[in-house]
Amino acid sequence: MSAPVLVLASHNAGKLRELRELLRGKVPGLDVDTQVIDAAAAGASDPVEDQVTFAGNALKKAREVAASSGLIALADDSGLSVDVLGGAPGIFSARWSGVHGDDEANIDLLLAQLGDIGAEHRAAQFVCAAALATPAGAEHVELGTSAGVLRTQRAGSHGFGYDPIFEPEGSGKTMAEHTPEEKNAISHRARAFAALLPVIIDEVTRALAAR
C-alpha cells in the first residue's frame, strides 16, 4: 500500500468518499484510494470549528491536521445560507438543532422555521470553503457556492446534510435525488475543490518528488 500523501481534516466518511471521487484521475501520481485518508486514519483529532466564517474554520482545521499528521491537509467548512433567515444556519448548519451532525433533526427544525414561508421566499445557497495547508506552513483557501431553493418535504436518498430539501437552481430535483456523479458536477464542495485543484496538484507533485 502506498504511503498517504493527503489527509482530509475530518472524520466524516461521506466527505472522504466525495473528496476521493473529486480528485480521482485529476492529480498525477496520486492513488486516491490509498493515499488520501481521513483524520482518524492519520491519528489526528477532529478540530473544533470555533471560527466565525467558513474560510476561517476550513483553514484552522487544515492547519491543525497538517501540523499533527505531517501530511498535506485538506479541509472544508460548508453550510446552508437561507435568504429569509439572513444567511442562517450558515456556519451553524451542522448543529442547527443543537446536536452536531444530527441531519434529520437539523432538517426538521429548518422546515418548521420555514413552515409558513411561500415558495417565492425560499431561496438559499450552499456555501463551501475548501482549504489546503502543508506541514511547512503553506496555506490556501477557495470558495464555492450552489444556489437554489428549499423544498417543503424531503426527497432523494443520496448525499447528506440538507441535500434532501435543497433543489439546485434549474435542476428540478433535490441534491439528494442527484447521483454522486451529478452532484459532483454542480455542488458547492465540488466547485470549491475544483478552484483549489491547481494548488493541490502543485503540492502533491512536490511531495511525491521529494520521496
Q: Is 26 annotated as a binding residue?
A: no
By the 8 A CB rule, do 125 and 81 touch? yes
Q: At what angle do helices 13-23 and 188-209 cross, to 10 degrees?
A: 70
Q: Is 15 annotated as a binding residue?
A: yes
Q: Is 68 annotated as a binding residue?
A: no
Q: Is 61 annotated as a binding residue?
A: no
Q: Is 118 annotated as a binding residue?
A: no
Residue type, 165: I
Q: What share of the chain is helix, strand, coil (3-state, %, to 5)?
A: 40, 20, 35
Q: Is 10 annotated as a binding residue?
A: yes
Any residues with CB less than 8 A from the CB of 151 and at least 6 apart, and which?
A: 164, 165, 166, 167, 174
Q: Is 188 annotated as a binding residue?
A: yes
Q: Is 88 annotated as a binding residue?
A: no
Catalytic residue among 38, 50, 77, 103: 77
Q: Is 31 a catalytic residue?
A: no
Least Cα distance to 195 among 55, 2, 34, 31 occurs for 55
Q: Is 158 annotated as a binding residue?
A: no
Q: Is 50 annotated as a binding residue?
A: no
Alpha-helical regions (H) of 8-53: 13-23, 32-35
**Residue 12 cell numbers, joined:** 466524516
What are the binding residues for substrate? 10-15, 78, 160-163, 183, 188-189
What are the binding residues for Mg(2+)? 77
What are the binding residues? 10-15, 77-78, 160-163, 183, 188-189
Catalytic residue IDs: 77
